[in-house]
Amino acid sequence: MIGVWHLVRLALRRDRILLPVWVAFLVFTTLSTTTALQELYDTQQSRDLLGATANANSAFLAMLGPLHDWSSLGGLVVWRWGVFAGLFIAIMAMLVVTRHTRAEEEAGRTELIAATVVGRHAPLAAAVIVAGGTSLLIGVLQALVLIGKDLDPAGAFAFGLSTASVGLVFTGVSAFTAQLSENSRVSNAIAGGFLGVTYLLRAAGDAAGESGPQWLTWFSPIGWTEHVRSFADNRFWVLGVSLAFTVALVGVSAWIVTRRDVGLGLLSARLGPARGTIGTPLGLAWRLQKGSLIGWSIALFAVGVIYGSVAQAVGQMVQDNPTLGQIVSKIGGADAMVDAFFATVTQLIGLIASIYLVQAVLRLRSEETAFRAEPLLATPVSRWGWVASHAAFALAGGAVVLAASGLGLGLVYGVQTDDVGGVLPRMLGAALAQLPAAWVIAGVALLLFGLFPQLTGVSWAVVSVALVLTLLGPALQLDQWVIDVSPFTHVPKYPDITAGPLLWLTGVAVVLLAAGFAGFRRRDLTT
């Protein structure tokens, strides 16, 4: 463990912008969500109504989890923001840990460090300290923000530490996945897949209601934070489960570190073919991107299956609950409720898919900065052809992953309602309707790549803004013009899908893509 503090300082220095942005983003969103909910539900009557509907609505349950305490503002914040805060902090921890462990090792920099007076465990320990410390800092600041809003300090800390606990768990998860593969992309993919499962297990458990497999939530680190019941019961002991899980994962990772060679993983590399069959840029792009495309398709199919299986319960619940039935009948009855559920779900799926599209576009930039574009572009491959080969995976691949989710939704809901032939095409349509909006996001990423290559990373900020505006915009009571910035705002809501907005969104995407292509043809290759 010698030298660990030097490495912590190195990591903090390298992440001097990234980490403060994450902290500020999460703390600020907690604050603005609290303020918005305070204004939105300012009477006890409005909160009671919310309590009655929120816990009876499977869509809400699947997306946000149960509302345990609607008597206090704190309870509302936990319900509206808790699961998302957990997702975001998990992504933060995951990226930070991989960046300072496996990515460093892959780049050969760990070797440089390991040859100095530094203990074998120091790089892993430093990454865990930085990611875990940032998680705790975010949790404590979150608690202080809520206390500043005059909320119960015990509840505030229960919520803040719950959020931090998800960060800690994913610090451990990434510490572990970083040991498995030699490739940092793969370790992030495994950790990201685990995060997806974490979210979906609790979504399924929460949406199932009391009669269903609610115990599923106990298998999800985000589910654990729901069981803390912040502001309602403040069951701090549940956090012990997260802590124990984290300690176990970090311990196993540290043990693996002592057993393996620097630079290698547990999944060892084998010899491959001596002769190649790839002969075109598109062939190479397929080889580089197919793993990600297949993984995302499976993941989004699973998302579709889970939400599809919940949909019938949405309609059922309205029939079981007379009070709710009355409210719902005003907006069009149980069918309208199910439609609204699918509208929300497909929008969420579109947002998730846009992450895939951006990642596929950004592959161009990482190929360029790793000097792997240079030898290709020194062959007769044109700049246009090279960009198109990867852009194809963003544009057509986006259609594939969205279709996979639509397939999942349609098959499961179709089987449940005995109408696969009718439901499946509608669900495919609803999912694919998100494609033009996702293309716009990909277009922005390609535009940045073509015109401002140093700023390509800003694409992730664009995705985050679209996510926040679409998911939280209404709750934050933002002006409509602000919410309109997100292309997903303009996608027609299921079941009233009209071609107009889809056409002009596609037009916007085409303009952005064309500008990106033109920019890249004109510019120097840079690193």
Partner 1 sequence: MTSAISVSGLVKTFGPTRALDDLNLDVQTGEVHGFLGPNGAGKSTTIRILLGLLRADSGTARLLGGDPWKDTAALHRRLAYVPGDVNLWPNLTGGEVIDLLGRLRGGLNKARREELLERFELDPRKKGRTYSKGNRQKVALVAALSSDVELLILDEPTSGLDPLMEAVFQDCINDERERGRTVLLSSHILAEVEALCDRVSIIRNGHIVETGTLADLRHLTRTSISAELAGPPNGLTSMAGVHDLVAEGNRVRFEVDSDKLDPVLKQLVSSGVRTLTSQPPTLEELFLRHYEDAK
Q: Which residues bind partner 1 (CB under 8 A)?
A: 106, 182-183, 269-281, 283-284, 287-288, 370-372, 374-383, 522-525
Contact 342, 410 (CB under 8 A): no
CA 183 to chain centre: 21
**Cβ-proximal residues to 262 (8 Å cutoff; 6+ apart), any chain:** 105, 110, 111, 114
Q: Which is nearer to partner 1, 117 or 271 (CB)?
A: 271
User: CA–CA separation, 462 vs 475, rounded Å?
Assistant: 20
Closest approach of Cβ 287 to partner 1, in Å? 7
Closest approach of Cβ 234 to partner 1, in Å? 48
Q: Which is nearer to partner 1, 331 or 378 (CB)?
A: 378
Closest approach of Cβ 279 to partner 1, in Å? 4
Among 124, 97, 313, which residue's Cα sits nearest to residue 195? Answer: 97
Closest approach of Cβ 274 to partner 1, in Å? 4
**Cβ-proximal residues to 513 (8 Å cutoff; 6+ apart), any chain:** 391, 395, 439, 442, 443, 446, 447
Closest approach of Cβ 183 to partner 1, in Å? 6
Closest approach of Cβ 455 to partner 1, in Å? 16
Closest approach of Cβ 373 to partner 1, in Å? 9
Q: Which is nearer to partner 1, 181 or 354 (CB)?
A: 181
Question: What are the CA-CA distances from residue 386 to residues 184, 293, 333, 396, 522 (Å)?
Answer: 24, 18, 52, 16, 14
Look at residue 8 and give its three-state secondary structure: helix
Closest approach of Cβ 116 to partner 1, in Å? 21
Closest approach of Cβ 115 to partner 1, in Å? 16
Contact 174, 94 (CB under 8 A): yes
**Cβ-proximal residues to 58 (8 Å cutoff; 6+ apart), any chain:** 207, 209, 310, 311, 313, 314, 317, 341
Closest approach of Cβ 289 to partner 1, in Å? 11
Question: What are the CA-CA distances from residue 314 to residues 84, 157, 293, 333, 526 (Å)?
Answer: 22, 33, 31, 11, 52
Q: Which is nearer to partner 1, 69 or 105 (CB)?
A: 105
Among 299, 131, 259, 264, which residue's Cα sits nearest to residue 187? Answer: 264
Q: Which is nearer to partner 1, 273 or 322 (CB)?
A: 273
Q: Which is nearer to partner 1, 46 or 280 (CB)?
A: 280
Q: Which is nearer to partner 1, 4 or 284 (CB)?
A: 284
Q: Which is nearer to partner 1, 251 or 263 (CB)?
A: 263
Closest approach of Cβ 348 to partner 1, in Å? 32
Among 249, 258, 255, which residue's Cα sits nearest to residue 97? Answer: 249
Q: Which is nearer to partner 1, 335 or 374 (CB)?
A: 374
Closest approach of Cβ 459 to partner 1, in Å? 22
DSSP string, 295-344: HHHHHHHHHHHHHHHHHHHHHHHHHH-HHHHHHHHHTTHHHHHHHHHHHH
Contact 449, 520 (CB under 8 A): yes
Q: Which is nearer to partner 1, 274 or 331 (CB)?
A: 274
Single-letter amino acid, residue 443: G
User: CA–CA separation, 233 vs 471, rounded Å?
Assistant: 27
Q: Which is nearer to partner 1, 65 or 516 (CB)?
A: 516
Among 64, 87, 59, which residue's Cα sits nearest to residue 76? Answer: 64
Q: Which is nearer to partner 1, 214 or 366 (CB)?
A: 366
Closest approach of Cβ 107 to partner 1, in Å? 11
Q: Which is nearer to partner 1, 20 or 291 (CB)?
A: 291
Token representation of residue 38 = 């305070």
Three-state secondary structure string covering 270-285: CCCCCCCCCCCHHHHH
Contact 143, 157 (CB under 8 A): yes
